[in-house]
Structures are given as structure tokens and as C-alpha cells.
Amino acid sequence: MKELIEYIAKSLCSDPDAVTVTESVEGGQVILRLEVAPEDKGKVIGRQGRVAQAMRVLLRVSAVKDDTRAILEIV
């Protein structure tokens, strides 16, 4: 799951080296925190949050395959 989010974010950003994804487990849920450069944050979020929402949907689908729950936070 972490690799999926990292791949999508690096494809969208103009500075792919600044993309970092940290993974932690809290309360039985996997929480992924995505950090990007400040100038790329708008690209990752998208208009009215559509890109971020699409990333969250893909993450949920991937989590269901692993029989777990996952949350994406963009920091």
C-alpha cells in the first residue's frame, strides 16, 4: 500500500525526491502519511480534492485485499 501511494505521488509531483510516505499502525488501522513539497501539495490534492479522493479510494481497495483498513493523510 505504501508503494502504491508513493508511486502515484511521485508521478504527480514536479519534485519527486521530496515525496515521503510513512506508515504506522494504530488501533488496527494502517495510517499512511504523505508529505510532499509545498509547491506540489496542490497537485496532489487536486481540484476540490478529487486527486486525493481517488488516491484514498485506491488505497481502500488495496487495503481490502489485505483484509485491513487504511487511512491516507496528506501532510
Domain definitions of the chain by residue range? 2-74
Residue 10: predicted pLDDT: 96
CA distances from 1 to 41, 57, 67, 71 (A): 20, 12, 12, 11
| Predicted TM-score of the model (pTM) | 0.89
Q: What is the distance between the alpha carbons of residues 28 and 2, in angstroms, rounded to a whole number?
A: 16
Residue-by-residue pLDDT tens, the chain, 75 positions: 999 999 999 999 999 999 999 999 998 899 999 999 999 999 999 999 999 999 999 999 999 998 999 999 998
Residue 28: predicted pLDDT: 87
42 class by beta-carbon count within 10 Å (0-12 exposed, 13-18 middle, 19+ buried)? exposed
2-74 CATH, one of 3.30.300.20, 3.90.420.10, 3.30.70.990, 3.30.420.40 = 3.30.300.20
Strand, coil or helix: what is 38? helix
